[in-house]
């Protein structure tokens, strides 16, 4: 019993350091995690791993998530911790949904690209539409994402007709100048 607690404590300290070390990089984006934030994130990681019935060996996905998403236009200090909690949940859910056919990097690349360019920061749309459609394709045997490491894939599966952001901004500008 004592050995297990000692090992858990050492793993938690290592994870704390890895996550806290990301602050050196993320502060240039105005994002910093306090010790309390980091403790919360690690506790939430444990919860989601239990919920999704996953085991993680080696480095946690959390530092990778931080490095990939810290430059997002949709993350601010005010929503940083909550966003990371949600991203962890989505990541582990879809590792399961994709039956571990996709690497961590491929999934992170796909998530980030959709979060920025399709979902415009909407976690529900990322989880419920983009990743759901992609997971269905992967479970059906699609492997074309491997060539570009998960980038540039969603257009192949997107069933929603989109409005053109540039055209919208142009029309808005025309309306404002009348």
Q: Above 90 in pLDDT, residue 115?
A: yes
User: Could you give the angle at which helices 62-69 and 104-117 cross, rounded to 10 degrees?
Assistant: 30
The length of the chain is: 178
Contact, 22 vs 66, CB < 8 A? yes
> What pLDDT, on a 0 to 100 scale, did the predictor assign at position 11?
58
Identify which of 24-28, 136-140, 149-153, 170-174 has the greatest average pLDDT: 24-28
DSSP class of 145:
G
Q: What rounded mean pLDDT belongs to the chain?
A: 81
> In which band, very low, low, confident or very high, does the pLDDT at 101 lie, cut at 50, 70 and 90?
confident
110: Cα within 13 Å, side-chain hemisphere? 33
DSSP run (H or E) holding 74: none
| Sole residue written with tokens 């984006």 | 29
Local structure of residue 126 (DSSP, 8 states) = I
Return the C-alpha torsion angle 102, 103, 104, 106, nearest 10: -70
pTM for the structure as a whole = 0.77
Q: E strands along 54-156, which residues?
A: none
pLDDT digits (tens, 9 = 90+) for 17-29: 887 788 899 999 9
pLDDT digits (tens, 9 = 90+) for 28-86: 999 999 999 988 888 887 777 677 676 666 677 889 999 999 999 999 999 999 999 99
- Is the pLDDT confidence value at 7 over 50? no
Give me the percent of the chain exceeding a pLDDT of 70: 74
Quick check: 3 pLDDT over 60?
A: no
């Amino acid at each position: 019993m004592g050995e297990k607690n000692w090992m858990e404590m050492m793993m938690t300290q290592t994870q704390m350091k890895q996550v806290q070390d990301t602050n050196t990089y993320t502060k240039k984006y105005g994002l910093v995690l306090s010790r309390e934030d980091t403790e919360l994130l690690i506790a939430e990681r444990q919860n989601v791993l239990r919920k999704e019935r996953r085991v993680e060996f080696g480095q946690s996905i959390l530092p990778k998530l931080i490095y990939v998403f810290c430059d997002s236009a949709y993350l601010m200090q005010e929503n940083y911790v909550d966003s990371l909690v949600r991203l962890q949940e989505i990541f582990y859910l879809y590792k399961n949904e994709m039956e571990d056919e996709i690497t961590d990097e491929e999934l992170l690349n796909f998530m980030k690209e959709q979060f920025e360019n399709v979902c415009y920061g909407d976690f529900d749309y990322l989880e419920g539409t983009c990743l759901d459609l992609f997971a269905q394709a992967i479970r059906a045997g699609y492997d074309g994402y491997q060539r570009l490491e998960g980038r540039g894939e969603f257009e192949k599966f997107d069933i929603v007709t989109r409005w053109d952001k540039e055209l919208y901004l142009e029309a808005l500008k025309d309306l404002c100048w009348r």
